[in-house]
Amino acid sequence: MRAAVIDTTGEASSLHEATVPVPAPYNSEFIVQVVAAGINPIDAKTRAGRGVSAGIPSFPAVLGYDFSGVVVKSPYEAHPFAPGTEVYGMTMVPRTSGSYAQYVAVSSLSVAKKPAALSHVEAAGVPLAALTAWGMVVEVAKAHQGQRILIHAASGGVGHFALQFAKYFGAHVIATGSTRNQEWLRELGADEVIDHATTRFEDAVSNVDVVIDLVGNVSDNTGSRSLAVLRDGGLIVNAPTGSWPTFLAEAADAGMRATTYKVAPDGDSLSTISRLLESGDVRVFVDQVFELGHAAQAHEALESGHTRGKIVLTIPAH
């Protein structure tokens, strides 16, 4: 099969197209023909030698968590997701080969039916980002009416879902983002929007119940500064854990509750998210689309730091 691979970790240019074996399914796994694959920051970190690169068992390696496609082989004949079913979900890179390829082998617990209202390109932008946002906002923060939630990097892949989930469950949402995304964040439902280029968020907001921290201290000590805007005993949920190694200690010293978050490829939660996508209560925004052979350029676009929503690869059938 055709795939975008790396022969070693390095710059975006290390991604190139190659022919590799189709993965074999075992136990309760599907074989899915991939129509589109989402690009995520963890992909770029892994490609560069960080992320989960230490777990890559061999090279060439196929990266990519998100996929949308069509079942070509089910775990057993009577499975409800028969061949021909349109599905989407997450792989388990580096335990398995990734989605920058024509086929993936994936656990039946990690897929859901693709929402009929979404194209494959749109659906491929959903799984990892939406499941991360769901876990942070709904499962950990338990978003509810009257709660004040501050979301950093709200215009990114995880952020734009986190904003919509928090708003759906009735929270008062405060979003930080760049100048060009201010109006768009309001359209997504933010009650307050802070332009991080012109305003220190701690000068504009206080008494927050929850901070959804998708930045950490990788930029201007955003994570550490967030502790000052939480109410006494407030909660901060951090996803880019490597950017802020003193996270838990600092939060404890400030008297705040704190936790990191790691996404799980949960098909049941993805099915719930599917219903919100079908109803239009939540939407995915795909900023740029690249062909499989241009995976390196897709990573360069992601690493530029200006993506609104998601970047997606289209995968050729032949």
User: What confidence score (pLDDT) does residue 219 get?
Assistant: 83
The strand pairing partners of 87, in sequence order, are 69, 113
| Fold match flag (2-126+284-314 vs 129-260) | no
pLDDT at 303 (0 to 100) = 95
Q: In the prediction, which pLDDT does 243 show? A: 80
Alpha carbon 305 to its chain's center:
15
Q: Which of 182, 191, 188 is nearest to 165 (CA)?
A: 188
Question: Which of the residues in the chain have pLDDT under 70?
Answer: none
Q: Give the CA radius of gyration of the chain.
A: 19
pTM: 0.97
Q: What is the pLDDT of residue 242?
A: 79
What are the tens digits of pLDDT across the range 133-160?
A: 999 999 999 999 999 999 999 999 999 9
Residue type, 217: N
pLDDT at 305: 86
Token pair in block for residue 201: 């968020």
SS3 content of the chain, % helix, strand, coil (to 5): 35, 30, 40
Considering the four listed CATH numbers 3.20.20.70, 3.40.50.720, 3.40.630.30, 3.20.20.60, the one that applies to the domain covering 129-260 is: 3.40.50.720
CB count in 10 Å sphere of residue 206? 13
Domain ranges of the chain: 2-126+284-314, 129-260
- Beta strand 257-260 with 230-238: parallel, antiparallel or unpaired? parallel
User: What's the DSSP call for residue 228?
Assistant: G
pLDDT tens-digit series, residues 84-95: 999 999 999 999
Q: Give me the helix-helix angle, 267-279 and 127-134, nearest 10°.
A: 100
Q: How far is CA 25 from CA 53, 74, 298, in A?
A: 23, 9, 29
What is the CATH architecture of 2-126+284-314? Alpha-Beta Complex (3.90)
Q: 87 and 112 in contact (C-beta within 8 Å)? A: yes
Report the pLDDT value the prediction gives residue 3, as an integer from 0 to 100: 98
Tokens found for residue 90: 């997450």
Task: Please write down the HEC assignment for all residues of 195-208.
Answer: ECCCCCHHHHCCCE
